[in-house]
Structure 1
Amino acid sequence: MSLYRAEMRRLTKRRFTKFFVLIALVVLGLLAGGTAYTHEKTTAKTRAAAEAAADRDYQEQLQFAEQARQECRQNPSNFGGDCDNISGPAREDISSDQFLTPPFDFREDFGVLVVAWAAMLALVAFIIGASFVGAEWNSGGMMNLLLWRPQRLRVLSTKLVALLSWLFGLSVLSGAVWTGLFWLIATLRGTTERVTPGAWQSIGLTGLRGLALVLVAGAIGFGVASIGRHTAAALGAAIGVIVIFQFGLGIVLELARAKFYEAYLLPAWIGGWMLKSYEVVDYNAPCDYSATNGCEQPTFTITWQMAGGLFATVALIIVGAAMMTIRKRDIT
């Protein structure tokens, strides 16, 4: 059996892998279930029920207004003495739309759910990638493997390729199921109108960017764990980035009134990558007044090209460092 096939089999059979994939599926399933529960197709029956609810609310508002007028006439000083001007709303002021459960519009709403799918899988990919190589370093399995396959770079790169191939398959399969599931939800609980070829192209490109994010997250987790030779090294680095460099740095930069401080934080770059662009506003700077648009704060736009370049650079640096480390350090 080739090393690649052996690594693919080992990754697939690991209980850790199955556990975190199951967690991801449960979370995504709850999100899909919540979406289906909170949306409803607009039909003649639901429209009639909403109209009836609007009529009831209108009658209740008239009753409240009449009660207020009676109380005003009994104690005019409490109401300023102008009791005749107390009146309820006009019927047209109460729209039946506010009593309708909104339908799930596949064209308008699915894009955000693609981002949620990508974020969930990227988190799982980072953890699985870190554990995949970190567990072998910690248990001594890597040392034993290199005794009969003493090609360090080839062994580590094959493991990385196996990981990325497995993540690619998981992402494609889950993405197809995710799309089909919400298409079904839109069919039963909303609408699939206006889903043009252009809309499918936009969804597909967002999905491809999500796939790239998953692969980069897996490669970074793999690289950090390999450098630290322990799964905890990658998880500790992730916690440090989140706690220190996200929350802590964000608070410090905001207190220091740094220019475009949000651009130093990871969520803005993920947003720029997944949403094609993300606008950071400098609320601490004086606004530029415009006669047409009023007060406008300075903005900085993070494009998907900028975010993609940053993620690719970070991944290459970390994976490259992992390759250099295994080549030069003792295997003990």
Structure 2
Amino acid sequence: MSLFRTELRRFTKRRFTRYMTLLGLLVLAAVVVGVFFTNQKIGASQLAQAERQADQQYQQQVRWSEQERAACEQAKTAGTASDGRYPDDCSVITAPSRDQIQASWFLPSTFDFKKSFDETLIPFAAILALVGFVVGASFVGAEWSNGGMMNLLLWRPKRLTVLLTKLAALLTGMLAVTLPAAVLWFAGFWAVANFRGSTEKVTSGVWQSVMLTGVRGVVLVLVVTTIGFALASLGRHTAMALGGVVAVMVVGQFGLGILLSMANVRWAEAFLLPTYMLAWMTKTVKLEDWNSCNANYFGECKPDTLTITWQQSSILLSVAVVVILGASLWAMRRRDIS
């Protein structure tokens, strides 16, 4: 019997895998449903309502400015206008012009596929990456805990072949979940845009950008799944992976972030993993240092910036996979199986 098919069947038959995957898919479905019901399609009635609200806001501003100007003149006549509440010239208290109050401020939320869909791929990748990490860690960690790995090695004594085959079955299973989920995610938000938003200006270039972002999301899911698998194999227990990620996130990220902030380190976010995960999904993340000021010819103060690119993130992800997976393979080859 093929070892790969055996491991793939074992992966699909595990109840924890099924329940965790189902939970992740339900969360994704809840996100789509939530976006659907919190957005509206903008039509003539919504535009008219927004115009009426803008008129009402303008009238309120007019009444308020008239009241304040009258109070200013009364205070000036009474000799109390110098308390700092009112300006010396009460005539400067005027309402904004009508065109300054835009009707777009009062429009309901609407889902624009071109502007917003890329952003939805971030929670999609994050949720499935979390599922993959936990499922991957449990898949190999349970084998070490219940003695299944030792029994399997009696049948197939080639340690690295067994471990890599397990990893291949795991990644195949996660890919079989992620790809259909991505298709349904695209279809779901396309339906949201059609019924609760807009699909205007969605060109072939937009689709190409969306597809590339989706591919990066799938790669991120597989990378995080591999790391979870490798950590659990390295520690020979699921808790090794879960404890490791808790330690990295709580101590290494939150603690490091607080320390860098207290030390006023420049570009503190550049030392944190979430910045690189976000840069991987969005192509670039621009960090700004507001403690610096670069004045231009118009007297405008612009902060120094540091750009984190997806290429830099890819190097970090590649190094993490090579180091952690390499360590787990080395430990599998060198340590006793008992």
Residue number in structure 2 paired with 1:270: 277
Q: Counterparts in 2 of 1:281-320, with a 5 A limit?
A: 281-283=288-290, 286-291=292-297, 294-320=300-326
Q: Which amino acid aligns with 2:325?
A: V
What displacement does 1:180 show?
0.6
Q: Counterparts in 2 of 1:36-185, with a 5 A limit?
A: 36-62=36-62, 77=78, 90-185=97-192
Residue number in structure 1 paired with 2:268: 261
What SS is found at the alignment partner of 1:193? coil
Distance 2:174 2:208 in 1: 23
Q: Which amino acid aligns with 1:267?
A: P
1:213 is aligned to 2:255 = no
Residue number in structure 2 paired with 1:34: 34
User: Which moves more between the two structures, 98-107 or 252-261?
Assistant: 252-261
User: Which moves more between the two structures, 46-55 or 141-150?
Assistant: 46-55
Residue number in structure 2 paired with 1:19: 19
Residue number in structure 1 paired with 2:327: 321
Distance 1:47 1:294 in 2: 36
Distance 2:288 2:320 in 1: 25
What SS is found at the alignment partner of 1:41? coil
Distance change in 2, residues 1:12/1:292 (3 Å): farther
What displacement does 1:64 show?
5.0
User: Which moves more between the two structures, 41-50 or 69-78?
Assistant: 69-78
Counterpart of 1:241 (choices 236, 248, 265) is 248
Q: Which amino acid aligns with 2:24?
A: A
Gaps of 5+ in 1: none
Counterpart of 1:226 (choices 198, 208, 233) is 233
Distance 2:102 2:49 in 1: 12
Distance change in 2, residues 1:215/1:90 (3 Å): same
1:5-47 alpha-carbon deviations (Å, 9 max, x no partner):
1211221222211222222223222322222222211111222
Residue number in structure 1 paired with 2:336: 330
Distance 1:299 1:84 in 2: 42
Distance change in 2, residues 1:73/1:105 (3 Å): same
What displacement does 1:257 show?
2.5
1:94-148 alpha-carbon deviations (Å, 9 max, x no partner):
3322221132110110011112211111111111111110111111111111122
The TM-score with structure 2 as length reference comes to 0.88
Distance 2:10 2:37 in 1: 39
Gaps of 5+ in 2: none
Distance 2:300 2:58 in 1: 38
1:142-180 alpha-carbon deviations (Å, 9 max, x no partner):
111112222211111100001111111211111110011
What SS is found at the alignment partner of 1:301? strand
Q: Which amino acid aligns with 1:199?
A: V
Residue number in structure 1 paired with 2:206: 199
Distance 1:73 1:320 in 2: 79
The TM-score with structure 1 as length reference comes to 0.90
What displacement does 1:298 show?
3.4
Q: Which amino acid aligns with 1:309?
A: I
Distance change in 2, residues 1:291/1:69 (3 Å): closer
What SS is found at the alignment partner of 1:298? strand
